[in-house]
Amino acid sequence: MGASEPGNEGADPETPQRPWQVEIDSVAKIELATAILNYELKSDGLGERFRVDVESMIVQIAGNPFLYQRVTRIHRRAVMHVFPYTIYFAVHKKSRRILVLNIHHAKRHPKYWRRNKPRWRQ
């Protein structure tokens, strides 16, 4: 049993674990594109700043998804700092996969993101 296998985590701190694989669901991609366009229409360059902030947050999530608030058994959320958005994602520990389900504006109903259930792709 290697250090990165379940049940033996932390046995050898020098052995790196397999990185988290991040996938963005098609619904989240559409929401992201819409938000970028809306911000770009408000101010030139603002949509690009939003896109960069979202990508940066996703990189942080991939660094350690367990730092973020749990909302269900497998779902977590990361609240963005500059823009009023929350990224909802599902974590599949066994395969070390993260599925971004929704990029959610703060004015939406808090449970709106639940409409998009994780569909793990093989």
Set out the domains of the chain in order of their start, with CATH numbers.
21-108 (3.30.2310.20)
> Residues 6 or more apart from 2 whose CB is under 8 A from it?
8, 15
pLDDT at 21: 94
pLDDT on residue 86: 94
Which pLDDT score, from 0 to 100, does residue 3 have?
A: 46
- What pLDDT does 74 receive? 84
pLDDT for the residue numbered 17: 76
Is the pTM of the predicted complex or chain greater than 0.95?
no
pLDDT digits (tens, 9 = 90+) for 14-43: 546 788 999 999 989 999 999 999 999 999
Enter the tokens of residue 29. Answer: 């991609």
Residue located via tokens 């932390």 = 10
> How high is the pLDDT of residue 1?
42
Q: Within 13 Å, how many C-alpha atoms sit on residue 15's CB side?
A: 10
